[in-house]
Amino acid sequence: MFSVRLHGRGGQGIVTTAELLAVAVFDEDAYAQAFPTFGSERTGAPVAAYCRIDERPIRSHEPITSPDALIVADPSLFAQVDVLAGLRSDGYLVINASDAAALSGAPAALSGAPTQVCLVPATEIARRHIGRPVPGAPLLGAFAAVTGRVGLAALVRAIEERFPSKVAEANAAAAREAYQMIRATWTEPTHA
Amino acid sequence: MLSQIEGSRAVAEAVAACRPQVVPAYPISPQTHIVEALAEMVASGRLAPCRFVTVESEFGAMSLAIGASATGSRAYTATSSQGLLFMVEALYNASGLGLPIVMTVANRAIGAPINIWNDHSDSMSQRDSGWIQLYAYDNQHAADLHILAFRLAEELSLPVMVCMDGFVLTHAVERVDVPEPSQVDSYLPAYTPRQVLSPARPYSIGAMVGPEAFTEVKFLAQHRMQSALKEIPPLSAELGAILGRNVPGLVQPYRLNGARTVVVTLGSTFGTLADTVDELWADGHAVGAVGLVAYRPFPVDALRAALAEAEHVVVLERAFSLGAGGIVAADLAPAAAANARVYTAIAGLGGRPVTGAALRGMILAAAADRLAPMTFLDLDTDLVARDLAHVEAVRHSGPTAENVLRHVRDRSTSGSPR
């Protein structure tokens, strides 16, 4: 079982992003379960969504408390929400940020931990391709590049299935750019 | 078709494959996605002939379903929580008149305090309404149960409620093999009512019955309801053969062979429980689980068979009767072995997660006979103590819900332990 928690703000498309990941995993013949946190969502308010990935059928319906990976669509959430809660110490952290300065609100616990941090300028990429600050597709591209838990081709198919053709094309291009950008520079940290 | 699909959408597809002719609906979370999807299908012409009627309330929805069903149409609606309560008077009429309406209840807590999250207090409150109640343990089961529900309802001329956990199932995107319309067509014949209001053959439905026959009408209702226990196994076997998978309709046993401690539950908690049972067997503990699918009528014989070897039976309930205790546990007691201990664990109220860790602790406590006859799983005893002390200290103690929320805030700012 590999579990992912996604953090964002209402309006960023976080629930849809979790669903796209689940559909892409399904497309690769594995099992997935995506679900949102259930509440009264408002634009701009913190939102979380989840995705479980497994080779076997997933029966559990309890919340994910110790995720293997986090996808953070807005680094300003570090100052507002306990984003890192339960993240496995060697887990993956994919953050929508162009440089480390955006992490000023992040807990000190981040530095020095074996957490595998990946920064991807997902909003910039989304603005360029989609014309709107919806970072989901490029975040998934970066997630695919660092974790290898889903392939880019499956992500693109999930995007095409979900959106009308023009929107799908733009989102797929954004996912591809993020994937290639991270793939070119990503090296697995070596653990002592 | 095998799909990665939201639970609500999967149920809407299954319902559409059953070709309902009238769908009156009023929106309430977490049921809304189901009827939204059906509304889209009717609007696009994919589901035809079908009238989707936006009504002014849940009372209107059930009343319209009654009218549609009594005049010979296959009728379906869905609701949750307060919406179910608002249709209560009509619920009793639907069952008392013997109208085979199918309704999804996307289970949600009842206020006050207002709460949109999942538990079973809504459908449990209607256990005596004369509706058959089936509880789905996952989204595949939920989709399949709707097909069984239409067939069962029409065979018996009784309404059927399919209960599925709100949000936890309705909003989860999971793998579901959505039944094909051709599969459903080979299982569910066109609706041929036992009674129908028609100018061609006029008669009335809904006579007033006095003391001379009311008991007998009710006796016959009980007889018909109980007959579902005989009808369900062959109907679920027939559906299972068509769909190529099991569609449990009474109970779903899990690893009971040799199990000395058995947990009985309803709804989506069953999946988490099954994982916990596997972990406990791996650690050398003889524990099993039973998913209760049919709650009304209550499958006492099927449960008696499932629980024959169990020495400790824990009933994990998502609702309870204030002033009494476990609802399902009270029904289940006669089905447990004579020497078995039966415990009630009230869990997952108002959306509190039911975790594998809590289930594990509960099961081990029961196996060691350390579980109290009635417990609230994961109860925050510190919060309870804070409010009891407050009420003791102050006459004008104020509203409980607001006070408890204040205790939560006080505790988080003072940093004292939970």
Residues of chain B with pLDDT under 50: 418
d(C-alpha B108, C-alpha B354), whole Å: 15
Do B390 and B373 form a contact (C-beta atoms < 8 A)? no
Give me the pLDDT at residue A111, please.
61
Tokens found for residue B400: 């409980």
More confident residue, A175 or A186: A175
Does the pLDDT value for residue A138 go beyond 60? Answer: yes
pLDDT in tens, B288-333: 999 999 999 999 999 999 999 999 999 999 999 999 999 999 999 9
CB contacts of B355 in chain A (<8 Å) are 62-63, 65
Kindly determine whether residue A57 and residue B175, on different chains, have CB atoms separated by under 8 Å.
yes
Nearest to A35 among B116, B172, B270 (CB): B172
Is pLDDT of A189 > 70?
no
pLDDT for the residue B201: 95
pTM metric for this prediction = 0.96
Q: How many CB atoms lie within 10 A of CB A66?
A: 11
What is residue A161's predicted lDDT score, i.e. its pLDDT?
96
* pLDDT value at residue A159: 98
> What is the structure's pLDDT at A187?
79
pLDDT confidence of residue A110: 65
B117 touches chain A (CB under 8 A): yes
Confidence at residue A109, expressed as pLDDT on a 0 to 100 scale: 59
ipTM of the shown complex: 0.93
Model confidence at A123: pLDDT above 50:
yes
B353/A contact by beta carbon, under 8 A: yes
Q: Is the pLDDT of residue A113 over 80?
A: no
Rounded to the nearest 10 degrees, the angle between the axes of helix A165-185 and helix A152-162 is 160
**H/E stretch holding A127:** helix A122-130
pLDDT attached to residue B417: 53
Predicted confidence band of residue A107 (pLDDT cuts 50, 70, 90): low
Give residue A192's pLDDT: 42
| A:B CB pairs within 8 Å | 68
What pLDDT score was predicted for residue A105? Answer: 67
The residue of A62, A65, A155, A159 whose CB has the most chain B CBs within 10 angstroms, and thus the best one to mutate to test that interface, is: A62
Confidence of residue A115 (pLDDT cuts 50, 70, 90): confident
pLDDT category at A116 given cuts 50, 70, 90 is confident
